[in-house]
Structure 1
Amino acid sequence: MASVETAGVRAPAWRGGFGRLWTAAVVSRFGDALRAAALPLLAVRLTDEPLVVASVTACGYVPWLLFGLIGGAVADRVDQRRAMWAVDMVRGLLVAFFALAVGLGHASIPLLLVLAFSLTTLQTLFDNASTALLPSLVDREALGSANARLLTGQQFAGGLLAGPFVPLLLTVGAFMPFAADAGTYLLAAALVASLRIRPPEREPRPAGSTLRAEIGEGLRTLWHDRVLRATCGATLLCNIGMGALIATLVLHVTHWLHAGNAGYAAAMTSYSGGSIAGGFVAQRIALRTGRVRALLVAGAVQTSSLLLMGTVREVSALLVGMLLLGSMNMVWNVNQVTLMQQRSPEAMVGRVVSAFRTASTSGAPLGAVLGGAAARTYGLNGPALLAAALFALAVTLLITVGKPDVPVVAPDDGATTGQPTP
């Protein structure tokens, strides 16, 4: 493992495997964005039933609720590098066969549902394994910078680069975005397979140990660490708020602000630009304030941004709000992931991360339902104000942690072993 000092910030060296992992993550996210943009367009061509179209998106959430905890337990049992490239190979072949079906005119809604469900099910193992693998590639002091670079690169590829390519690929044929996505999976699999790292040493599992028992161990570890417990609860509240906002944002822009499709595109571009900017400052904010205080800062700014969007009926307020929302969302994500990696026992990162993600991800579909209800009951700006209230609750929950940055081993909270949080 290697790291370098850049302007006082400990950063991962690109050699030693991190560069290949970063490239694999960015390439894969680019392909994911192509597929995510093309799937709804294909669904609309196959059916005009809104509930059926929405079910394609819902299949992206359900596997996390069903298999997220299992994916984390499996990630702690296996060689994470091998699990990642094997999963990407399978995903690449699945999408390649789907692209062939689309090209031959055999696409159908059931096939879309099976694809979306299968890919997300595999993702539950891949994402947990990749989060657990990163500490094997970079020094613990450089984890914050490594996460910032990974998330920023993925946001740039998926949020900005992929969008203009979708119309170009669709001019060739409806199958092309999926064929390109299959290619990115296979390339990412080759890059991950080329990593040469030593798997973390694990103590032999007790005789008769089951996945259920190991999942329970991960849940208890998350619950007993008061910092991670509060962060998980706060993230759940934020995801409910974001689910409410995103599900109704197109109505907020086109009907409440009367900004049309161009206004909606500008809002999403502003959010993506803010996310990239946030990636550059996330680690610096944490070094100045501490990681939990960085979450508090991010949550407070996001609350203010949502209040601005929900009360000021101007497109300029929307664009500023989305810019700040995106930048602070990246600050939140970078520091949240780093906290999980630093505070979890080395042999349990996958299970702790999966417990955290499963609990917090469940907020998005709930938020979408609440957002629709708020828009109908209180007006089309209601979801933004509901999200602001939920973000304010999240900030309040984090304040209850007490010490904003306790050491990873705190004498009074029985937290996990590791190095002090930088």
Structure 2
Amino acid sequence: MAATEAVGGTRAVPAWRGGFGRLWTAAVVSRFGDSLRTAALPLLAASLTDDPLLIASVTACGFLPWLLFGLLGGAVADRVDQRRAMWAVDLVRGGLVAAFAAAVALGHATIALLLLLAFALTTLQTLFDNAATALLPALVPAETLAGANARLMTGQQLAGGLLAGPAVPALLLAGPAVPYAADAVTYVLAALLVASLRTGAPERPPRPAGSTLRAEMAEGLAVLRADRSLRWLCTATTLCNIGMGALIATLVVHVTDGHPTGTAGNTAYAATITAYALGAVAGGFLARRIAERTGRIRAVFLAGAVQTGCLVLMGTLPVLAVSIGAMAVFGFMGTVWNVQQTTLMQERAPEGMLGRIAAAFRTLAVAGAPLGALLGGAAAAGPGPHTPALLAAALFALAVASLGPLIN
């Protein structure tokens, strides 16, 4: 049985022993490496071409595989041993990034190679992420899922949001290939940690004779659509992701008042992003307690309502100090939302279907981000650099309103 530990005499959170500690370490190490790579790739792309469309295409390739293969990754995750799938995928990703690091070191990096790498890594991620979501309930008791998700997200935010960013300039001084080599090492370390887990073969109900991956993907969508809570939560998350796409794509323009150049602009942008990361980490520590007081759905509703207020404040009072404070609160509530969302999926998914339901949820939600980025760019180019924050606020308000049927 998975281990738990009491907190305050009444609350249970997952113990670090029993496998969860290794999974947490693997997730944090892997996120650190991923963040090194994702921070370094745009800089490398900018050194290879001055075409903004090509540079942006590198980021776009990080979304496209979710739209193409997200459902497939979930169906496969429900068929295989998730632990084995995760460490095998990480070894493959480590090999790909190591080969890319060698290409960079030898001066053979091209935009085409960057696009191929981004597409391949995210394609593999569709299987890894869905398998990871499905594996966690096998490692911790059901009553500690919220605490486990909060600890995972907090650790990943610390590693990716606060530690990796400052490390990239130092690594680049050692050589342009060093961030990618470090990323390859983290993949291998994560694979070894996951491979050391002893969860046993997953127990699943037998599949009907002749069942196909296509039919199983459709089944995951059907179950998501039939579950009232998950359906409305997915709708709200998709709307929020459109808003997030609009906000993040234009945040540098917002905080620099339309002039994103120079040391002052870089400092303002860095301060805003850091505030968001710090808020997200703090949210991870308190997400479980908030849900215990309000219930999961009400915690999501509260988080979305507060985030809407933050966005309105940013759009109507475009002052750097206001943006920094608003983004800190926005990040805090974002983690509260994400913890409850993931936990609800894990709690409500029928046995043997969590991978497919998580895949359907993620695929629909991720589809909103690139659309939002385009809308945000158009809004910034038209009415002004602070308009995307108000556009995002309107979308978040719609998301909160869509949760109304679940509150009553």
The bucket for the TM-score relative to the shorter chain is over 0.9
Deviates more, 1:309-318 or 1:110-119: 309-318
Residue type at the aligned position of 1:31: G
1:157 maps to: 159
Give me the whole-angstrom Cα distance separating, in 1, the residues matched to 2:321 and 2:73: 43
Residue type at the aligned position of 1:124: T
**1:182 is aligned to 2:184:** yes
1:138 maps to: 140
1:239 maps to: 241
Q: How does 1:291-330 map to 2 (within 5 A)?
A: 291-330=296-335
Q: How does 1:16-415 map to 2 (within 5 A)?
A: 16-256=18-258, 260-403=265-408
1:419 maps to: none
Give me the whole-angstrom Cα distance separating, in 2, the residues matched to 1:223 and 1:49: 41
1:407 maps to: none
* Runs (4+) off by over 2 Å: 255-259
Deviates more, 1:113-122 or 1:252-261: 252-261
Secondary structure in 1 aligned to 2:13? Answer: strand
- In the TM superposition, what is the alpha-carbon distance from 1:401 to its structure 2 partner? 2.0
- In the TM superposition, what is the alpha-carbon distance from 1:377 to its structure 2 partner? 2.4
Identity %: 67
Change in Cα spacing, 1:294 to 1:215, as seen in structure 2 (3 Å) is same
Secondary structure in 2 aligned to 1:347? Answer: coil
RMSD: 1.0
- In the TM superposition, what is the alpha-carbon distance from 1:2 to its structure 2 partner? 1.4
TM-score (structure 2 length as normaliser): 0.97
Give me the whole-angstrom Cα distance separating, in 1, the residues matched to 2:177 and 2:85: 28
Secondary structure in 2 aligned to 1:180? Answer: helix
Specify every segment of 5 or more residues in structure 2 that has no aligned partner in the other structure, as ranges.
Answer: none
Residue type at the aligned position of 1:296: F
Deviates more, 1:29-38 or 1:248-257: 248-257
- In the TM superposition, what is the alpha-carbon distance from 1:402 to its structure 2 partner? 4.4
Give me the whole-angstrom Cα distance separating, in 2, the residues matched to 1:385 and 1:313: 11
CA contact (8 A) 1:257 1:314 kept: no
TM-score (structure 1 length as normaliser): 0.94
Deviations 1:381-420 (A, max 9, x none): 11000100111111110012244xxxxxxxxxxxxxxxxx
Give me the whole-angstrom Cα distance separating, in 2, the residues matched to 1:114 and 1:313: 39
CA contact (8 A) 2:242 2:371 kept: yes
CA contact (8 A) 1:303 1:392 kept: yes
Residue type at the aligned position of 2:200: R
Residue type at the aligned position of 2:339: V
- In the TM superposition, what is the alpha-carbon distance from 1:163 to its structure 2 partner? 1.2
Give me the whole-angstrom Cα distance separating, in 1, the residues matched to 2:169 and 2:383: 37
Deviations 1:323-365 (A, max 9, x none): 0110000000000000000000120000000000000110000
Give me the whole-angstrom Cα distance separating, in 2, the residues matched to 1:382 and 1:233: 23
Residue type at the aligned position of 2:46: V
CA contact (8 A) 1:148 1:282 kept: yes
Residue type at the aligned position of 1:170: L
- In the TM superposition, what is the alpha-carbon distance from 1:379 to its structure 2 partner? 1.2
Residue type at the aligned position of 1:174: P
Give me the whole-angstrom Cα distance separating, in 1, the residues matched to 2:247 and 2:201: 41
